[in-house]
Structure 1
């Protein structure tokens, strides 16, 4: 079965949140220096590229990455195309989320140039969250850096999702993914203190 990589590549210069720790990869030792191997050194924000948010990211009492069940991040997922919408609203999704859906990935196509951090995204409206919970959703993913407006301090979507026990996957690349049913695999690193974690996210086509 075909695997589709829906992760952002990480490289020196990859756009991250303004003011956050920029991504940096360098060789701490070269093969010439060590006599045997190249050894890389990595520095980055936990919210660079394709990543999950742990509840601790926006709630001091929330769970950290290592405390989250890995089952959240692997299993059946529905990709829903909301391209052209200004917001992810109930009207734009209510006919597309079936009862029993555990994972929903929203394709907005709003981040056209991924060499630059976007100026504007398509936020998730908190009003859709009770509907998603009623359908059985436990995880949502978006092809944007956040589920809330980029300048939001209230983070209404983050908090409403948290209150309804729905987890968050951000920074997906869904440009060439058709709407439909897939298997998602997007496992975070086992970071005991982590408020977030980069993931290698892939979709497996179902046949």
Structure 2
């Protein structure tokens, strides 16, 4: 794979990173600074595990669900397909995905934005129609991803798409940045941290060209 092109599909994480209203914003403070008697700089970070590109754990939407650090890593690594559904609101339905559904790999990432809102919260974000997730699971998909902050509409109280993830044991990535990624197949690498009690984890998500 030497020389294969890499797409970084993670948004920047800093004090301007948007989070779900009410969630913990990103903050950092210096625990130590280089100077006489101190050879290093050292920061303390405070952030939600849903900051930036992240993987939700079943614990996020199921009290009995597994924490993110207890999950098998295999779904987060391997061949994936990027599908464009640009401008689709409020739900990405099967009809928006069907054109790219032949011989699907086990991972599907959906681009819904022309330009992802990496510096602001978007209350009109695109989610997944639960039926579309059911169809993907029926076709053997193990992981779904989207460039919005949630697979459900921001004002949803029933979290119907999340409940399909739970029932069908699908893994999920949210807050990806797919602005410059053409439709097609890639190698996905987006490993969550081994946070053994957390309901989610930030990931550094990348796509690598398949040759």
Provide TM-score, normalisation by structure 2. Answer: 0.94
Tell me if structure 2 keeps the 8 A contact 1:99–1:136. Answer: no
Q: Which residue does 2:93 correspond to in 1? A: 89
Most deviating of 115-124 and 53-62: 115-124
Q: Verify: 1:68 aligned to 2:71, yes or no.
A: yes
> Is the alpha carbon distance of 1:55 and 1:177 closer, same or farther for their aligned partners in structure 2, counting shifts above 3 Å?
same
Aligned residue-pair number:
207
Tell me if structure 2 keeps the 8 A contact 1:88–1:122. Answer: yes
Q: Verify: 1:57 aligned to 2:83, yes or no.
A: no
C-alpha displacement at 1:6, in angstroms?
Answer: 0.3
Q: Which residue does 2:167 correspond to in 1? A: 163
C-alpha displacement at 1:35, in angstroms?
Answer: 1.9
Tell me if structure 1 keeps the 8 A contact 2:115–2:179. Answer: no
Q: Which residue does 1:99 correspond to in 2? A: 103
Q: Verify: 1:180 aligned to 2:205, yes or no.
A: no
- Which of the numbers 67, 75, 80 marks the counterpart of 1:77? 80
Return the alpha-carbon distance in structure 2 between the equivalents of residues 33 and 172 of structure 1. 42
Tell me if structure 1 keeps the 8 A contact 2:107–2:143. Answer: yes
> Is the alpha carbon distance of 1:61 and 1:176 closer, same or farther for their aligned partners in structure 2, counting shifts above 3 Å?
same
SS of 1:94's equivalent in the other structure is helix
Segments of 5+ residues of structure 1 without an aligned counterpart are none
Moved over 6 A (4+): none
Tell me if structure 1 keeps the 8 A contact 2:108–2:143. Answer: yes
Q: Which residue does 1:195 correspond to in 2? A: 199
Most deviating of 75-84 and 112-121: 112-121
Return the alpha-carbon distance in structure 1 between the equivalents of residues 125 and 22 of structure 2. 18
Q: Which residue does 2:139 correspond to in 1? A: 135
Return the alpha-carbon distance in structure 1 between the equivalents of residues 72 and 139 of structure 2. 20
- 1:62-108 deviation line (CA, Å, top 9, x unaligned): 11111110111000000000012222111111231233520000000
Q: Which residue does 1:36 correspond to in 2? A: 39
Return the alpha-carbon distance in structure 1 between the equivalents of residues 37 and 16 of structure 2. 27
